[in-house]
Amino acid sequence: MNIASSSSLPLTGYGWDTDWEATFAPYAEQGLVVGRVVRVDRGLCDIVTAEGTLRADTALVTPRDPLKVICTGDWAAVDTVADPPLVRAYLPRRTAFVRNTSSKRSEGQILAANVDHAIIAVPLTGDLDLGRIERFLALAWESGAQPLVVLTKADLVPDPVVLSYLVQDVETTAPGVQVLTVSAAEGEGIEILQAIVAGGTSVLLGQSGAGKSTLANALLGAEVMEVQAIRDVDGKGRHTTTTRNLLALPGGGVLIDTPGLRGVGLWDAETGVGQVFSEIEELAGQCRFHDCAHEAEPGCAVLAALEDGSLSERRLESYRKLIRENQRILAKTDARLRAEIRRDWKIKGAIGREAMEAKRNGFR
Ligand X SMILES: Nc1nc2c(ncn2[C@@H]2O[C@H](COP(=O)(O)OP(=O)(O)OP(=O)(O)O)[C@@H](O)[C@H]2O)c(=O)[nH]1
Is 95 marked as a binding-site residue?
A: no
Distances (CA, A) of 18 to 12, 48, 153, 262, 322: 10, 18, 38, 34, 38
Q: Give the distance from CA 72 to its chain's centroid.
A: 12
Closer CB to ligand X, 206 or 272, in the complex:
206
Helix-strand-coil split of the chain, %, nearest 5: 45, 20, 35
316 contributes a contact to Zn ion by CB under 5 A: no
- Cβ 144 to Zn ion, closest distance in Å? 29
Is 346 marked as a binding-site residue?
A: no
- Cβ 119 to ligand X, closest distance in Å? 11
Closer CB to Zn ion, 27 or 277, in the complex:
277
Q: Which residues sit at the interface with ligand X, rule CB under 6 A? A: 152-153, 155-156, 183-185, 206, 208-214, 262
- Cβ 60 to ligand X, closest distance in Å? 34
- E strand intervals along the chain: 33-41, 44-49, 52-57, 75-79, 86-90, 96-100, 108-113, 117-123, 146-152, 178-181, 201-205, 245-248, 254-257
Closer CB to Zn ion, 145 or 311, in the complex:
311
- Cβ 173 to ligand X, closest distance in Å? 20
- Cβ 312 to Zn ion, closest distance in Å? 16
287 contributes a contact to Zn ion by CB under 5 A: yes
Is 278 marked as a binding-site residue?
A: no
14 near 36, Cβ under 8 Å? yes
Residue 33: φ, ψ to 5°: -105, 140
183 makes contact, choosing from ligand X, Zn ion, none, with CB < 5 to 8 Å by partner type, with: ligand X
With CB under 5 A as the contact rule, which of the stretches 28-36, 77-85, 264-272, 290-298 interacts with Zn ion?
290-298
Closer CB to Zn ion, 51 or 307, in the complex:
307
262 makes contact, choosing from Zn ion, ligand X, none, with CB < 5 to 8 Å by partner type, with: ligand X
311 contributes a contact to Zn ion by CB under 5 A: no
How far, in Å, CA of 317 to CA of 54, rounded? 49
Closer CB to ligand X, 252 or 260, in the complex:
260
- Give the interface size with Zn ion as a residue count (CB under 5 A): 5
294 contributes a contact to Zn ion by CB under 5 A: yes
Q: Give the distance from CA 19 to its chain's centroid.
A: 22
Is 335 marked as a binding-site residue?
A: no
Is 293 marked as a binding-site residue?
A: no
DSSP-derived letter for residue 55 is: E
- Cβ 64 to ligand X, closest distance in Å? 31
Beta carbons within 8 Å of 100's beta carbon, 6+ residues apart: 106, 108, 109, 265, 266, 267, 329
Among 246, 302, 305, 311, binds Zn ion (CB under 5 A): 302
For CA atoms 25, 29, 35, 36, give the dihedral sign.
negative
301 near 293, Cβ under 8 Å? no
- Cβ 4 to ligand X, closest distance in Å? 23
| Total residue length of the chain | 364
Burial call 187-211: b when 16+ CB within 10 Å, e when fewer: eebbeebbebbeebbbbbbbbeebb
Amino acid at 265: G
β-bridge partners, 146 = 117
50 makes contact, choosing from ligand X, Zn ion, none, with CB < 5 to 8 Å by partner type, with: none
- Among 106, 93, 36, which Cα is nearest to 66's? 106
214 makes contact, choosing from ligand X, Zn ion, none, with CB < 5 to 8 Å by partner type, with: ligand X
* Burial of residue 32, with CB atoms counted within 10 A of its CB: 0-12 exposed, 13-18 middle, 19 or more buried: buried
Closer CB to Zn ion, 288 or 314, in the complex:
288
With CB under 5 A as the contact rule, which of the stretches 45-53, 215-223, 272-280, 301-309 interacts with Zn ion?
301-309
Question: Per the annotation, where are the binding residues for GTP?
Answer: 152-155, 206-214
Binding residues for Zn ion, rule: CB under 5 A, are 287, 292, 294, 300, 302
Question: Per the annotation, where are the binding residues?
Answer: 152-155, 206-214, 287, 292, 294, 300
Question: Per the annotation, where are the binding residues for Zn(2+)?
Answer: 287, 292, 294, 300
